[in-house]
Amino acid sequence: GGITIPPRFNVAVPFIDRHLAEGRGAKAAIRTASETVSYAALARRVDATGRALQARGLRPGDRMLMIVKDCPAFFYLFWGAIKAGIVPVPVNTLLRAADYAYMIDDSGCGLLAWSPEYAAEVEPALAQLGSKAPPALKVTDDASIGADAAGPTLEPHLAAPTDDCFWLYSSGSTGRPKGAVHRQRDMVVASEFYGVRTLGVTETDICYSAAKLFFAYGLGNAMTFPLWAGGTAVLDPARPTPASTFDNVETFRPTLYFGVPTLYAAQLAALEARQVGFGSVRACVSAGEALPADIFRRWQEKTGTIILDGIGSTEMLHIFLGNRLDDYRPGTSGRAVPGYTAEIRDPDGNRVQPGDSGRLWMKGESAAAYYWNKPEKTAQTMVGGWLDTGDTYRQDADGYFIYEGRSDDMLKVGGIWCSPVEIEGCLIGHPAVLESAVVGRADADGLVKPQAFIVLKPGQDGGATLTDALMARCKQSLAPYKYPRWVEYVSELPKTATGKIQRFKLRG
Ligand code: 3UK
């Protein structure tokens, strides 16, 4: 069934304060390498931070941009703001000064909270903005955000479930980032429908996400899901590597692990040389881009755990099509998550015939209300309660959703739509291949054919023999027109900060 949200509420109450009323005060809400934060301490620090933000002059509706690493203060700032009616806007910490200057300006934020680690990009951004720069708050420790102040509790600012609550910037493959404005109810909806009803998150879960909190995927994985269920979040500020993620799995014994395909591939390579105890992990989750079936298979072989692939987006907040422990098919995005409705449409907006490809539109109550300052983008993407994902999908005979690429990455080869992801999946199955990206390239006749860029595993040679073998492999297992006519060996693929291959950068 649905979920009931009171007509006036503040979402910090069910995510933070409720746990005290339910007797979880002494329980660990957050664990890091150096500290454990109980639910009682979390609630206190959220209140103190909210009061500190009010004391700096922030009022309900004002935005606070956050360039903050994964650490407990991220939680205090995010929830302290929300409890006071202030709108937090966590942004990608891997961006450059020009990106930050744009987001500070676009959001019109009244405060910038930032971790000193990012000074090399944040300081020039502020300098570039000159007199338009907002006040900045350097997040060095709890005291810097006022969280050491013992004081009265913070009165929650009441709002309607559909009122603005927080934003996330969505970085499409083209154009400037867009601020997706999320509502009070959105975290409740995503946590309940994906967290609880799909993954079965409970208060016994320990959630560890290699994907960072600034990414909507990480924000759900390592903050909203455990807080919604009364579980524990594990935070590590470092950039994830196979070694650091393995260390964290062994130290914190998470029950749920969240990664992205690129990292799973790198971890698999590292598992050749290291044994890692995944015994605590009841499920691994993958999102951000499609997880090739071959990675699923090898991961299961090596670790004994399965990876649940699911597709989510910044606009929908979290995963809306996903595999489940009790219903999964490798190489697919699974089925619609409860509470969400999917439609695959043709270019005229009609539903395609079963089995045909088309553009995926989604409906669900966690969808962003609009893009800030971008009425045209809003009107194109959010239509009649539906969200255009910009992704091409088809359903197999059993109804599992199969990802075929960003709508703008799809190739027409010989007049037939051809999915780069499908070809990449075949190439990745070859033992010499670590990663691949396929794009369209015009042949001598000006006709588009697939071209493959390949990153090899260490010690492998990219010569003519391997190229022939890769082409033969594709010819054998894919429709004949789909084999790559050119194979190029490269040391790495262009990726976004969240690990998505930027195929547009490879197009000639
Ligand atoms: C692509 C996938 C195939 C797809 C996200 C989980 O990735 C997230 O959000 P973004 O806004 O990007 C959205 C786009 O990424 N994508 C994501 N997951 C998959 N493609 N299979 C997948 N499993 O193009 C989508 O439109 O960065 C992921 C939860 C929250 C998120 N925001």
What are the distances in angstroms from CA 203 to CA 18, 62, 227?
Answer: 13, 33, 9
Query: 217 CB less than 6 Å from ligand 1?
Result: yes
Tell me how far the alpha carbon of residue 252 lies from the centroid of ligand 1, in angstroms.
27
Q: At residue 405, does pLDDT exceed 90?
A: no
The answer to whether 224 and 191 are in contact (CB under 8 A) is yes
For 54-66, write each residue's pLDDT tens digit. Answer: 999 999 999 999 9
Q: At residue 469, does pLDDT exceed 90?
A: yes
Three-class SS state of 128: helix
Query: 289 CB less than 6 Å from ligand 1?
Result: yes
Ligand 1, atom 6, lies closest to the CA of: 312
Query: 403 CB less than 6 Å from ligand 1?
Result: yes
pLDDT of residue 149: 57
- Residue in 198, 313, 335, 498 to alter for ligand 1 test, most ligand atoms within 8 A of Cβ: 313
The tokens for 351 are 């539903």
**Residue carrying structure tokens 């995503």:** 190
Amino acid making up residue 469: A
Tell me how far the alpha carbon of residue 499 lies from the centroid of ligand 1, in angstroms.
10
Q: At residue 230, does pLDDT exceed 90?
A: yes
The tokens for 124 are 């020039």
What are the distances in angstroms from CA 152 to CA 60, 81, 142?
Answer: 19, 16, 17
Tell me how far the alpha carbon of residue 408 lies from the centroid of ligand 1, in angstroms.
15
Across residues 378-405, what is the average pLDDT?
96
Tell me how far the alpha carbon of residue 312 lies from the centroid of ligand 1, in angstroms.
4
Least confident stretch, 41-50, 219-228, 335-344, 470-479 = 470-479
Tell me how far the alpha carbon of residue 388 lies from the centroid of ligand 1, in angstroms.
13
Query: 312 CB less than 6 Å from ligand 1?
Result: yes
Query: 311 CB less than 6 Å from ligand 1?
Result: yes
The minimum-distance atom of ligand 1 relative to the CA of 403 is 3
**What CA–CA distance (Å, rounded) separates 413 from 416?**
5
Tell me how far the alpha carbon of residue 445 lies from the centroid of ligand 1, in angstroms.
35
Residue of 238 and 1 predicted with greater confidence: 238
Tell me how far the alpha carbon of residue 317 lies from the centroid of ligand 1, in angstroms.
10
What whole-number percentage of the chain has pLDDT above 90?
81
**Residue carrying structure tokens 């929300």:** 82
The minimum-distance atom of ligand 1 relative to the CA of 496 is 27
Amino acid making up residue 345: R
Ligand 1, atom 14, lies closest to the CA of: 313
Ligand 1, atom 10, lies closest to the CA of: 313
For 35-80, write each residue's pLDDT tens digit. Answer: 999 999 999 999 999 999 999 999 999 999 999 999 999 999 999 9
Domain architecture of the chain: domains with CATH: 1-184 (3.40.50.980), 186-345 (3.40.50.12780), 410-505 (3.30.300.30)
Q: At residue 100, does pLDDT exceed 50?
A: yes
Tell me how far the alpha carbon of residue 345 lies from the centroid of ligand 1, in angstroms.
19
**What CA–CA distance (Å, rounded) separates 499 from 507?**
18
Query: 390 CB less than 6 Å from ligand 1?
Result: yes
Q: At residue 497, does pLDDT exceed 90?
A: no
Sequence-separated (6 or more) residues with CB below 8 Å from residue 6: 161
Query: 264 CB less than 6 Å from ligand 1?
Result: no
Across residues 201-227, what is the average pLDDT?
97
Alpha-carbon Rg for the chain in angstroms: 23
Across residues 385-413, what is the average pLDDT?
91
Q: How confident is the model at residue 258 (pLDDT cuts 50, 70, 90)?
A: very high
Query: 83 CB less than 6 Å from ligand 1?
Result: no
For 272-324, write each residue's pLDDT tens digit. Answer: 999 999 999 999 999 988 898 999 999 999 999 999 999 999 999 999 999 99
pLDDT of residue 448: 80
pLDDT of residue 144: 75
Residue of 163 and 441 predicted with greater confidence: 163
**What CA–CA distance (Å, rounded) separates 310 from 194?**
10
Tell me how far the alpha carbon of residue 315 lies from the centroid of ligand 1, in angstroms.
10
Q: At residue 216, does pLDDT exceed 80?
A: yes
Mean pLDDT taken over the chain: 93
Which residues partner with 343 through β-bridges?
A: 361
Q: How confident is the model at residue 163 (pLDDT cuts 50, 70, 90)?
A: very high
Of 45-59, 87-101, 146-160, 255-269, which has the strongest mean pLDDT? Answer: 45-59
pLDDT of residue 148: 63
Tell me how far the alpha carbon of residue 477 lies from the centroid of ligand 1, in angstroms.
27
Tell me how far the alpha carbon of residue 13 lies from the centroid of ligand 1, in angstroms.
29
Ligand 1, atom 25, lies closest to the CA of: 313
Q: In what order do the strands lie in the sheet with 164-170?
A: 164-170, 178-183, 370-371
Angle at 9 between CA 4 and CA 13, to 5 degrees: 95
DSSP 36: E
Query: 503 CB less than 6 Å from ligand 1?
Result: no
Q: How confident is the model at residue 173 (pLDDT cuts 50, 70, 90)?
A: very low
Q: What is the ipTM of this complex?
A: 0.99
Ligand 1, atom 9, lies closest to the CA of: 313
pLDDT of residue 228: 98
The minimum-distance atom of ligand 1 relative to the CA of 315 is 11
What are the distances in angstroms from CA 166 to CA 19, 81, 99?
Answer: 22, 9, 19
Q: At residue 351, does pLDDT exceed 50?
A: yes
The tokens for 47 are 């209140």
- Residue in 286, 311, 324 to alter for ligand 1 test, most ligand atoms within 8 A of Cβ: 311
329: left (phi over 0), alpha (psi -120 to 50) or beta: beta
Sequence-separated (6 or more) residues with CB below 8 Å from residue 473: 426, 427, 429, 430
**What CA–CA distance (Å, rounded) separates 254 from 232?**
9
H or E segment at 48? Answer: helix 39-55
Across residues 141-158, what is the average pLDDT?
80
Q: At residue 141, does pLDDT exceed 80?
A: no
